Structure 1
């Protein structure tokens, strides 16, 4: 023991260093992703940041020279309405998925302020009768009008379409320029998934639906056919499949057909669908169509759908088309699937 003690004190011996402290190995916690929210115009669950911007609505042309439309297949909600000459025109609304370009855009009509006021945000169009433009400019929406000084960078004419069916909008740029505007409120009630929405429709006597045949006038008809493979209704017009400029089929998870009164209180040639009203409706979801009642209490109110028991209709998550079918000149026909053929008995 003495030898060991003395050797530790020998002059010139190197001191023994204290051990280095060991750094903590506790990992930095990964932040939890924000809870998902219901997309207000599509009913799907999304990251809240992805819908923190205004909706963009546009008056979209449905003249045969305006087809195929650009970006229409990516809209959240599309309203189809009767205009002059027995033709129809669309009010399409984008929020969940903003394309680079949308169009062709055309002029506004007198029912558009009632349709778009509850949605808010931005409306893009190419003008119109001054009385109709004044009505739209009186709404809370930002009016982006082709030909105005503030739209020189976002509206332009595109090759491949004849005038006046050639005006398009740089949709992403227009939304970015007005990102301070509020996101839209939810417009319809949604089931958690298509199966739940379809089951609810069946529970109140919904009819199995092969197709939905809609007439707006003697010169304007279209149909929606149930496609089980895609889980959507596919649109046809003039007897041909309706496709967008991208080649994608025009489809809808929900087709909501409202019977509306048409009046001519602003122009003897231009009908106005009366939207602050109520009436009969058919809601087509998941290959089933249920009878319903629609109502809109005020210009700022959303459309309310209730089934024949008085319960609010829940749509399937996805794109919705709202067909404003005139009472006087239009019709709605639900076509059931063809009955299955009986098996052939080959036993003799």
Structure 2
């Protein structure tokens, strides 16, 4: 084979690889538009209550929400679910360890519609992982677990923190944690406590998926209906963004995160250091699937942190009845947005809360990409800048 033939074959291969990501997003959009045409209503129809799943949906459009979603669609992802009955169960919000590093890889994070990463003091962060509308699937093999007795568990689970209660309130859910200090426990609402199986292993507190669902079912039988709408989802890439191939989140010299956009999957892939000072990032994987964590939306959310003790370990975050700035990373672009938990028309009319809403500067809903969302919660003093074309950095500073 001649040089020119080899050259053109390589060139064609490169072009195919480059276009795969765009092709997949195009097919997804065509699919949504096809559903729209097929299900176009002949007249006005009432939106289905997401808490009373129905096999029939009303209308589906390319953009979903913020206030109405078709039956069988998760208002926290903008996507349909395999089992609509699970949408009637309240969200489980599970405190998942990130330190010590022996807690990694964690189990179950890739199944969360929302994960909130929060600062807990001394340079460390912890995850509040939400499970709603879906649980780790029973047909998934936990490749990194050795025995069947350990299959389909979520964790490792650690103690509760004050900001957890604010998120729980907004999402009308219940907490799962490995206890809490007296200062925190007295402020926590509905919750379940998980105990470790080995007193010598700080990472031994896990919870079985079936147990999470049982707790949710028990809560559903005693709790009034809830509403998790409020945000808009659209597969179409919004205008006005700036290139954002990478996001570097610097919490501490020994706690750094890298999010890299993967055009093939249309999601951001998470990597993290090993708290050893080597300056390297390693793929953050899910213990259940063995795959790298991938989230369609990554949000850097600015909120005031309040340190309540001298040790710097008791921290609250202003998340209720307020608003502030944020940055949304989706589709390889970054957008300046706002987040808001103040009472809007719905809250004033019903007296109920809904999840935090993401808007533009004028208060109009800003579309998230259908899929899962990871929220990096940072203090208002955090620096945010573009280091070079497409590379952004959020530099966290210890709150005072």
Place the TM-score, normalised by the shorter chain, in its bin.
0.7 to 0.9
- Measured after TM superposition, the shift of residue 333 of structure 1 is 4.0
Please show how residues 119-198 of structure 1 align to structure 2 within 5 Å: 119-136=171-188, 139=189, 141=190, 143-147=191-195, 156-157=196-197, 163-182=201-220, 185-186=227-228, 188-192=230-234, 194=235, 196=236, 198=237
Q: Are positions 1:262 and 2:310 aligned together? A: no
Q: Which runs of 5+ in 1 are unaligned?
A: 1-31, 148-155, 339-348
1:77 maps to: 114
Instruction: Decide whether the 8 Å contact of 1:54 with 1:175 is kept in 2.
Output: no
* Distance (Å, rounded) in 1 between the aligned partners of 2:75 and 2:233: 13
1:274 maps to: 318
Please show how residues 21-60 of structure 1 align to structure 2 within 5 Å: 33-35=55-57, 36-46=71-81, 48-60=84-96
**Cα distance change of structure 1 residues 164 and 288 upon mapping to structure 2, 3 Å threshold:** same
1:105 maps to: 157
* Distance (Å, rounded) in 2 between the aligned partners of 1:213 and 1:111: 24
- Measured after TM superposition, the shift of residue 231 of structure 1 is 0.8
Instruction: Decide whether the 8 Å contact of 1:212 with 1:333 is kept in 2.
Output: no
TM-score, normalised to structure 1's length? 0.75
Instruction: Decide whether the 8 Å contact of 2:296 with 2:330 is kept in 1.
Output: yes
Structure with the bigger percentage of helix? 2
SS at match of 1:179: helix
Structure with the bigger percentage of strand? 1
2:48 maps to: none
- Measured after TM superposition, the shift of residue 131 of structure 1 is 1.6
- Measured after TM superposition, the shift of residue 213 of structure 1 is 1.5
Instruction: Decide whether the 8 Å contact of 2:305 with 2:317 is kept in 1.
Output: yes
Larger radius of gyration: 1
1:313 maps to: 366
C-alpha offsets along residues 263-304 of structure 1, whole Å, 9 cap, x if unaligned?
113564222222133221101111111001222227945212
**Cα distance change of structure 1 residues 216 and 278 upon mapping to structure 2, 3 Å threshold:** farther
- Measured after TM superposition, the shift of residue 104 of structure 1 is 0.1
- Measured after TM superposition, the shift of residue 219 of structure 1 is 3.5
**Cα distance change of structure 1 residues 96 and 297 upon mapping to structure 2, 3 Å threshold:** same
Instruction: Decide whether the 8 Å contact of 1:60 with 1:105 is kept in 2.
Output: yes
Count of residue correspondences: 285
Q: Are positions 1:303 and 2:339 aligned together? A: no
C-alpha offsets along residues 183-209 of structure 1, whole Å, 9 cap, x if unaligned?
7532551324x2x2x2x2x2xx21121
Deviates more, 1:292-301 or 1:216-225: 292-301
- Measured after TM superposition, the shift of residue 114 of structure 1 is 0.6
- Measured after TM superposition, the shift of residue 321 of structure 1 is 0.6
SS at match of 1:111: helix
Instruction: Decide whether the 8 Å contact of 1:253 with 1:285 is kept in 2.
Output: yes
